[in-house]
């Protein structure tokens, strides 16, 4: 967090202000503890600001016996919040890469998604951040990231279109240059039940 971050007391007072603005009394029994609960929830929702995505990927393994085929981890569930309305974004990330001598533990891929998801986001930016970080740190032959998510800012407010989902992708290296590699990745996702298409 930045050194200019408000104190916990200031954050709780801000929640009280919003409760009053909405038309309720923050001192009534059902709401008296709500400001503290909201601040604790925000610490969890936005924990990605206190984590280093590069650091998560720095421990790699080089004893892979020459493995140089595609590695795919799919259906990495995440919860984020849109930076425009602070409404939830619920979705799944699918990550593929082709190593060049180094691989990373699979839990680190899920952790990378979580770090970027637990920040105020737009899906397009999050897709780029995950792909570019993995590409920059591992320096693989290629990286592919596909994210599919439902945005509560359009399903519970505004246009009210429940069931709609957004799919974004970023292809780097051989996934961008070689259509056959890209098709293989997308075929693997379809086999897993992901709703992406060629």
Query: Catalytic residue among 10, 27, 58, 84, which?
Result: 84
Sequence-distant (6+) residues with CB within 8 A of 124 are 168
69 a catalytic residue: no
135 a catalytic residue: no
82 a catalytic residue: yes
Distance CA 156, CA 119 (A): 20
* SS3 call for 62: coil
Query: Catalytic residue among 43, 79, 135, 153, which?
Result: 153
Query: Catalytic residue among 9, 10, 27, 83, which?
Result: 83
Handedness of CA 125, 130, 131, 137 (dihedral sign): positive
Asked if 189 and 94 touch (Cβ cutoff 8 Å), the reply is yes
123 a catalytic residue: yes
Query: Catalytic residue among 12, 121, 123, 148, which?
Result: 123
Query: Catalytic residue among 85, 139, 152, 184, which?
Result: 85
Beta bridge partners of 173: 142
Backbone Cα Rg of the chain: 20
94 a catalytic residue: no
Query: Catalytic residue among 81, 141, 151, 152, which?
Result: 151
Q: Which two tokens stand for residue 35?
A: 């400001």
Catalytic residues: 82-85, 123, 151, 153
């Amino acid at each position: 967090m930045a050194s200019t971050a408000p104190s916990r007391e200031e954050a709780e007072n801000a929640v009280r202000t919003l409760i009053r603005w909405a038309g309720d009394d923050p001192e009534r029994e059902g709401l008296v503890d709500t400001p503290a609960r909201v601040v604790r929830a925000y610490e969890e929702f936005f924990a990605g600001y206190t984590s280093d995505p590069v650091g998560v990927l720095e421990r790699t393994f080089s004893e892979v016996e020459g493995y140089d085929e595609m590695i795919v981890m799919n259906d990495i569930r995440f919860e984020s919040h849109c930076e425009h309305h602070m409404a939830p974004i619920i979705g799944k990330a699918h990550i593929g890469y082709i190593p060049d001598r180094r691989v990373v533990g699979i839990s680190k891929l899920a952790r990378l998604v979580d770090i970027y998801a637990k920040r105020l986001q737009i899906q397009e930016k999050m897709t780029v951040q995950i792909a570019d970080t993995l590409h920059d740190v591992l320096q693989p032959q290629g990286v592919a990231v596909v994210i599919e998510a439902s945005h509560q800012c359009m399903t519970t407010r505004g246009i009210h279109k429940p069931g709609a989902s957004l799919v974004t992708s970023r292809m780097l290296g051989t996934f961008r240059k070689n259509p056959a590699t890209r098709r293989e990745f997308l075929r693997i996702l379809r086999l897993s039940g992901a709703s992406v298409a060629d």
